[in-house]
Amino acid sequence: AERPSTALADRLEKELGRRPLYLKADLRDIETLRAAAAKAAEAHGDITVLVNNAALDDRHAVEDVTVEFWDNNLAINLRPHFFTAQAVAPGMKRAGGGSIINFTSTSYLINHPDMPAYTAAKAGILGLTKGLAGKLGQDRIRVNAVAPGWVITERQRELWVTDEGLAAHVAKQCIKDVMQPDDMVGTVLFLASDASRMLTAQMLIVDGGFL
């Protein structure tokens, strides 16, 4: 992730004249995660928008899952979402409010058979989102979830996409287009902005109408 992240920072600096802050952190290490959040706040002031978009969707069979695999899966796909929110919530309160956007997935809604540990974590994100929204709303902090359908990233193409599988999936969507990462941008900007100031504890599904 470091190389594409640095490349993105380079490109944005060239295009916009300002360099985004890139901080490398292992999300499984909570103290490192907290330190990164503190550095970001030190550089830019209290964080008022948090997008939790970490995920590792390795396929796995039920019989192959070990305790170590299960724990590592949740340490990437669920646990950081809570601790990043915990880290930024005081600053959002000082700022008079904020927006936390947790990425989940539609995979747990479609009975996906090949990654039960992952879908368990993604289902947990919705519960976490609602619990945080109930607690933090009193400080004008909104917490929502975004559930993408099958977004065709580089990783998806390298590991799992086949022409036949993708065509079959798109055929079940109301909108017959292949979903791209950029298709998530508008939803995130909406949830980050005051246009959604009364929207919290919700999950927005962005899947081209697959569900």
Closest C-alpha to 143, from 127, 152, 132: 132
What's the pLDDT at 163? Answer: 95
Whole-model pTM? Answer: 0.95
Domain co-membership, 92 together with 190: yes
Which range marks the domain in which residue 22 is found? 1-45
Domains identified in the chain, total number: 2
Could you tell me if residue 211 is inside a domain? no
Domain co-membership, 33 together with 96: no
Question: Which CATH number goes with the domain that contains 181?
Answer: 3.40.50.720
pLDDT in tens, the chain (211 residues): 788 899 999 999 999 999 999 999 999 999 999 999 999 999 999 999 999 998 999 999 999 999 999 999 999 999 999 999 999 999 999 999 999 999 999 999 999 999 999 999 999 999 999 999 999 999 999 999 999 999 999 899 999 899 999 999 999 999 999 999 999 999 999 999 999 999 999 999 999 999 9
Domain co-membership, 40 together with 51: no
Domain co-membership, 21 together with 94: no
Domain co-membership, 35 together with 123: no
Residue written as token pair 């246009």: 195
Q: What is the 3-state secondary structure (H, E, C) of 33-95?
A: HHHHHHHHHHHHCCCCEEEECCCCCCCCCHHHCCHHHHHHHHHHHCHHHHHHHHHHHHHHHHH
What's the pLDDT at 4? Answer: 86
Whether 118 is catalytic is yes
Any idea what the Cα angle at residue 53 is, between residues 49 and 54, rounded to 5°? 135
Catalytic pick among 103, 108, 118, 150:
118
